[in-house]
Structure 1
Amino acid sequence: MPVAHEYLLRLSTQLNEGIVHPQRWNEALGSVAELMDAESAVVTEDSPHGAGANDLCLPIETDDGDVMYLSLHRSPDSFAFQPADVARAQGLLPYFRTALRLRHHVRSLQARHHQAACMLDSFDMPALLLDPNGQVLLSNVAGQAWVHSSSSIVGSRRVQDADGIRFRQCLRAACGQGMAPQGAAMQLRATENRPAQYLVLSPVQTETGTLADAAGVASATPMAMLVVRSTASYDNRAGRLFAELFDLTPAETRLLRRLVGGDSLADAARHLNVQMPTVRTHLQAIFRKTDTSRQSELLSLAATLVDTPYAE
């Protein structure tokens, strides 16, 4: 007697829901046992469950070449499985095969998500994966806290001021919107609600699909990694490092410290008690020695070279 279509639909639903809800998977196996007049029904890996006269074990080949088994067991005082029982059980195998394929895919996604999350969690500062629109696809715990803080300019706190415009320009550059993907950085100046911060954006290669799968987007979706770094102590550390690496003069080092610390050119000139033409001359020398051409590139280089933990 063929299995009713309504039963097969219900079984398919239970198995698919059972991918993430074990209780539904158990309910599906229970209904199969009832359908087959069996005492129990189990799905096992590698080897069948039971090999007695009252056991029926059918192989289920998976996409990756492995074999699982649908094993049915009847009590010793019951009757043995007949050819008609085998045919009926074989009619159920495609539904199990589909559910197992989906379960394998879900577990693969979960593993990739965990891998990507571990990578982000390795940062001791806010780290987030963003799409070109600034949507947060994945983040570490510090990143989640930052997104919901007054310091954030992404997510629900997306701003339309000059900082917001500059950030979207940097994000487009990192995601390769209208250009080849390239790293970008910007500085958020300190306000009453937030400390001074560097936002460093880096292109994310999605060809392998690992991060794209983990973020729940298509593999061709452009993404960028955002790392939020505090500017606290950047001025002295960057000054020393740049002076050693790029042979900056004392005057150039002092200017670099002011710029990395958050000063504009005018602020730096005032604090250093020099004229603007002198500041511009020093800045051009810094550009030449560091092979940069813009202040944003200089800040990006500083944020990359100087590892400053995020300050709450």
Structure 2
Amino acid sequence: MLRLINPGESRPSRMPQGLVSGGGVSMEFERLNALFDAIYEGPMEATPWQTALRLLQQTFGAMHVTMILRPPSSQSAGFMLNTDSAAADATESYQNHFFALDPFVGLPEDQVITPEELVGTGRWTSSALYREYLRPMNVEHLVGADLRTQEGIECRFRVSRSADAPPFSANDKALCRALLPHLKRAVRLHAQIDTLECERQLYAGTVNRMLLGTVSFAHNGDIIEINPEARRILNEKDGMRVQGRTICLDRNDEGRELQRIVRKVCSGAPVDPGLIEAMSVTRPSGRMNLGVVVKPAPVSSWPHDSSQRPVAVMFLRDPECSGKASEEAIRRLFGLTRMEAALAQCLADGLTVEEAAEKLNVKRTTARTYLRFIFCKTGVTRQTKLVRTLLNSVVALS
């Protein structure tokens, strides 16, 4: 007899019978293996677990299979995944109204249970959720489980059948129990991936706001990714540009030097921490040279070799492109008035006091009076130090 070991179990449990009617042990194993594959691949799908939910729907002969990753509340609509896109209206109804009337919540942890077992048949069939929500959709039978991870993540798993289908059997519930540990692990993986993606977007957004261009390279020197600021610089084709999957420079000597630096960093050869691989790139337009630094990407502890994993990152800086500081951020950070903040912003953008006065449509003497107020509030006494204070503050991140 084929046996299945659940994560966390020290002994094998018997394979739930009746997974596939008339398919034999090999077909039973293939179907169950496909379910496990889909569950663990689920966190990486564009819409998480859509493949797994469809397979579960087929396996259980269900109308709907639902995962509630964030329960609805009066402040939030929650996050629900469903097998049926046509059930969008029903999902919205539940999120906006019926979640507050649902007695089928707070299930014993990691147990597969029906509403009748939880609250009793009479109370369930007389509930508003059953009479006004499920019954009009022809949903008669329901089984579910609540998963809670050690990190505090909660997932509600629900499977429903129509009135024409049989109730959930002991074998159906046994299969659910066999799947729960795998669903829990997959939910934890999804949470970790989601956290990493949030951090990636946060840091990428910070780099973009600081107007720092980045280009990542694979081990063979091919470009993997270009951020918006680097793409802006490269699209100008003023000294450097993208050609195919490589960076090309207008000057041959500078091009050879950049290729040498990128090859060296991509080779994985030991790099002296005190040695910076940097160079400047001449711009034919006559504008100030671009600054370039190439550094190794952080090394993963996992010894895999992926062509899509960055091994080197090139940082680009355009010295003539200053970030547009947030006037509101300057005002709040240094306690300035709106006119003082506007003047400070002009100075940070490289204007003189006279140019700023003209732009703000005030007299030069008035602008200089505002400048004295700014000096007093920021604790500096020179205009150059004021500009340096603004540029080095968190205003650049606003």
| 1:165-184 to 2 correspondences below 5 Å | 165-167=256-258, 177-183=270-276
2:273 is paired with a residue of what secondary structure? coil
Tell me: CA distance 1:69–1:13, structure 2 relative to 1, closer, same or farther (3 Å).
Answer: same
Tell me how far 1:7 sits from its aligned partner.
1.9
Q: Over residues 27-74 of structure 1, what are the superposed CA-to-partner deviations in whole Å (9 max), with x where a residue is unaligned?
A: 532442343244322112366976222432223354745232321234
- TM-score (normalised: structure 1): 0.53
Tell me: CA distance 1:131–1:120, structure 2 relative to 1, closer, same or farther (3 Å).
Answer: farther
Q: Equivalents in 1 of 2:54, 2:152: separation in Å? A: 27
Q: Equivalents in 2 of 1:226, 1:208: separation in Å? A: 20
Tell me how far 1:82 sits from its aligned partner.
3.6
Report the RMSD for the aligned CA atoms in angstroms. 4.5
Q: Equivalents in 2 of 1:32, 1:131: separation in Å? A: 39
| Pairing partner for 1:103 from 172, 186, 190 | 190
* 1:5 paired residue number: 29
Contact 2:148–2:155 at 8 Å: present in 1 too?
yes
Total equivalences in the alignment: 224
Q: Equivalents in 1 of 2:181, 2:163: separation in Å? A: 29
Q: State yes or no: 1:229 paired with 2:318.
A: yes
Q: State yes or no: 1:41 paired with 2:133.
A: no
Contact 1:127–1:228 at 8 Å: present in 2 too?
no
In structure 1, stretches of 5+ residues that fail to align are: 210-215, 233-303, 308-312
Q: Equivalents in 1 of 2:198, 2:211: separation in Å? A: 22
* 2:254 paired residue number: 163
| Pairing partner for 2:284 from 191, 195, 203 | 191
1:157 is paired with a residue of what secondary structure? strand
Q: Over residues 74-109 of structure 1, what are the superposed CA-to-partner deviations in whole Å (9 max), with x where a residue is unaligned?
A: 446765434322112222334434543443344234
- TM-score (normalised: structure 2): 0.43
Paired residue type of 1:199: G
Tell me: CA distance 1:76–1:185, structure 2 relative to 1, closer, same or farther (3 Å).
Answer: same
Tell me how far 1:143 sits from its aligned partner.
0.6
Q: State yes or no: 1:21 paired with 2:46.
A: yes
In structure 2, stretches of 5+ residues that fail to align are: 1-16, 20-27, 72-98, 105-114, 117-140, 302-307, 322-387, 392-398
Q: Equivalents in 2 of 1:158, 1:33: separation in Å? A: 53
Tell me how far 1:122 sits from its aligned partner.
0.7
Q: Equivalents in 1 of 2:149, 2:234: separation in Å? A: 42
Tell me: CA distance 1:132–1:33, structure 2 relative to 1, closer, same or farther (3 Å).
Answer: closer
Tell me how far 1:205 sits from its aligned partner.
8.3
Tell me: CA distance 1:226–1:135, structure 2 relative to 1, closer, same or farther (3 Å).
Answer: farther
Q: Over residues 175-209 of structure 1, what are the superposed CA-to-partner deviations in whole Å (9 max), with x where a residue is unaligned?
A: 994312444543323437x8542324275784899
Q: Equivalents in 2 of 1:71, 1:137: separation in Å? A: 41
